[in-house]
Structure 1
Amino acid sequence: MSLDLVSNITQILSSSLVSRIASSLGLDKALTEKALQAGVPGLLAAFTSLVSRPNGAQALNGAIARQQPTLLSSLGSMLGGSAQSNIIETGTNTLTSLLGSGTTSALTNAVGQYAGIGNAGSKSLMGLLGPVVMGVLGQQQRASGLDATGLASLLNSQKDNIASALPAGFSNYLSDTGILDALGSSAGVRGPSATTGYSGSSRPSYSTMPPPVPRPTQSWGWIIPALAALLIGGLAWNWFTRPHPTETAANPPPAKVETPSTAPASTGTSTGASGLGPMPASFEALENLHGIKVGDVDVGAQLASAETSMRSAIASVQDVSTAQAAMTPLTNSANDFVRLSKLLDQLPAQSRKTVVNTIIATRPALDQLFDKALAIPGVSPIIKPTIDKVHSQFDALTTA
C-alpha cells in the first residue's frame, strides 16, 4: 500500500483523542473534527510550499529533529495540564518560525473561519496539530532514512493526496495566501472526479476513443487575391475620407472645459494604491466601517485609514533606506491603530464585533507584507519593533 501522510495523521487523531482535545480546549467535538479535517491537509500543503523554497527543507528538517520523540504516544496524557500549554506554545512558535507569522496566521484564521471555532480556538488547535504532523513526518523520515532532500521529496510525492483531502470550500479561505501554490492545479479539484474524471468509473483510455472525423478538403486558392483587393480598397477609402491638414487646422476640436470635481477624495480602501496591486477583499471591507462612531469620533473610518496607511508604508520598503523613510508614516499609523483600538470597548456589542472581525480579517494580507519587508537584509532591526506593536494589538483583538 502506498504511503498516505494524511491518512497516517488522521489515524493518530482517533475519535477518543479528538474528544479529549476538544474538551481540553473548550471546543465542540464536531467542530473540532471539522477543523482537523481542514487543518491536517492545510498544514501539509504549507510544509510542501515551504520545502520548495531555498533552505526550506533544511529548516523543516531541523524543526522535526527537535520534536519530542515520545509526543505521539503520550499526547493523550498531556492534554488538560501544564504540558498542554507548553505543547501549544512550542508548536505555535515553531510554525511561526518555519512558515512566517503571516502564513501561520492565514492558515489559522482560515481553519477557524471554515470550522466555526474562532481564531482563538483555531490558534490553540493548530499549536497542537503542528507537533503531531511533524511527529508523523519524523516517523516516516527515520523509517526511510531520509535527509532534508528526501523529506522534500516525500512531501512532493504527497501533493495529490493532500489536494484530494482538502475539504470542499476550504481552499477559498486560502486564496492569495500562497499556501496551496506548491500543489499546483491539483488544489483546485475535489471529490472522485478529481482522480477518475467520472464519478465511480475510470477515465476512458485514448485507445478506445473514436477517431477524429476528417474535415472536408477545401480549395483556398481564391483567398489571397480577394484579401489583396480588400486591402487596396481599404487603403484608398482611408486616403479619400480622412481629414487633411488644412481641414484639421480650419476645424479644430472644441476646447476641453475643466469642471471642478465633486467626487469625494479617495480613502485608499476600495482600490489598490499605486504599486500595491489589487486591494485584498479584506481591506475593501474596511469601507463598511465608515460611520461607526464613539461620540463624535468616526472610529471605523479612522481605523480603516490607519490600516491602509500601514499597508502603503510597509509596501514601500525595498531596502534599508526606504525602510528608514517609511518609519515615520508606519509609526504614526501604528500608533493611531493602537489608540483607536482602545476606543472599541465604548461601542455597542454588535458594532464592536463587526469592527473587530473586519480588522482581524485584514491581518493575513498585512502580515504577508510585514514578512516580506522583514526578510530584506538590514530592514528587520529598523521596522520590527513597530511591527511587533501592531501584532500585539491584533493578538489583543483576537483574544478579546
Structure 2
Amino acid sequence: MNLVDLVKDQLTSQVLGNLGSLIGTNESQTRAATNAAVPALLGGLSKLASSQSGASQIASALGGLDLGALGNLAGLLGGSNASRMADQGGSLLSSLFGASATGKIVETLAGFLGMKPGIARSLLAYLAPVVLGMVAKQFTGGRADAAGVQRLFADQSTNIRNALPAGFSLGDFGAVSGGGRDVHSRDTHGHSRQEPAQSGFPAWLPLVLLPLLALGAWYLMNRDKMAKQDGGVMIEEIRKEGPVTIDRTEVIEREGKKLIDEVTETISIDPKFVEAARLATNSTELFGSLSKILGGVTNEETARAAIPELEKLGPVLSGVQFEAEKLEGENKTAFAQFVSKNLGLLQKVIDTAMAIPGVKALLGPVVTPMVETLGKLAG
C-alpha cells in the first residue's frame, strides 16, 4: 500500500479541474502543484507523528472528518460546500502545524512552484481534508489512536520521501511540531533533542552547528549532577546561543525507592538561519543539476533530450530566487558570492555545449533566461 498513490488516485481530471477553478489554475498547473503538495503535506504529518503528542493530535483530527462527504470530491469541490471544505482545511492546518509553520509551508511551496502564496495556501487548505481523509480510511471505521498513526507514517516514510519532486525535500519545511513550535524532537530514554538539518553551503553551517556541539558538552557535564537532587522538583533553563534557543526542563521525582529523572530538551533555530540553510541546499542542487544536464550534451540529439530536463529546473530556480530575495546583510552578500563562483564554473560547461553545431539554437531559449536570473542573484 502506498499512501501517496491512494491520495493521488482520488485526484481525477474532473477533481483537478474543479480544484483549479477554485484556486485559479488550469488542470496541468493544478496537477503539477498537487504532485508536490500531497507528499509535502504527508511529510509534515509524518514529522508531527514522530512524537506521541503530535500523533495524538493527528488521531484527534481524523475523528472529526466526514469521510462520507470526502468520498465524492468532484461533487464537493464543484458544489456550494467547497468553501466550507477550504475553511475546514485551513483550520486543520493551523491546529496541527500552528500558524507559523503553516506560513512557512505555504511560502516554501509557493517558491518551489513559482505561484503566489495566496494560491498555495488555498491549494493546501483544499487538500488537507483529502489527505487526512485518506489517512483516516486506513483505520477501521476511521478511528485511529496515536500508536496506530505512528505505525502508519513509519511504514509510509519511504513512499512519502520518494514522491517528492526533484529539488524539493522534507527539509524544506524545517521541523514542525504541534502548536506551531518549530522544533522536531526525538525521545530517547526520557530525553528529547533535535537533530539539525544539513545543507550544502558550508559558509553558514558553523553558525548553527557549533552551538549544538556546545549543548551536547553541557548536557554530558551536568546530567549526573542534576540527577542526584532529591525530592520532587522541576528545573527549567532557557538559553540562547547565537541562532539557537535551548529550552531544558528536568523533572525529578521519587517513586518508591526509585529516583525518576526525566529531561526534555527542545532546540529551536532562528527561522532566518533555517531559511538560509534551505536556500543553500536548493541552490547547490540546482547548480549540480544544470552542470550534469549540460555536461551530457554532445550533439543536437542529446540537446533536444536535455530541454525537458532543463525546463523541470525552472520551478527550482524560481524558488531559489524567491528565497534569496528575503536575505539581508551578510547572508545576502555571502549568497551572491556563492552564486557568482558557481555561475563562473557553470558558464564554462555552457560555453562548451553551445559551441557544438546546432546546440545553441536549441538550448539558447531555455538556458539564456536561466543564466540571466542567476546573474542577477550574483549581483
What TM-score do the two structures reach when normalised by structure 2? 0.47
Larger radius of gyration: 1
Normalized per residue, the structure richer in strand is 2
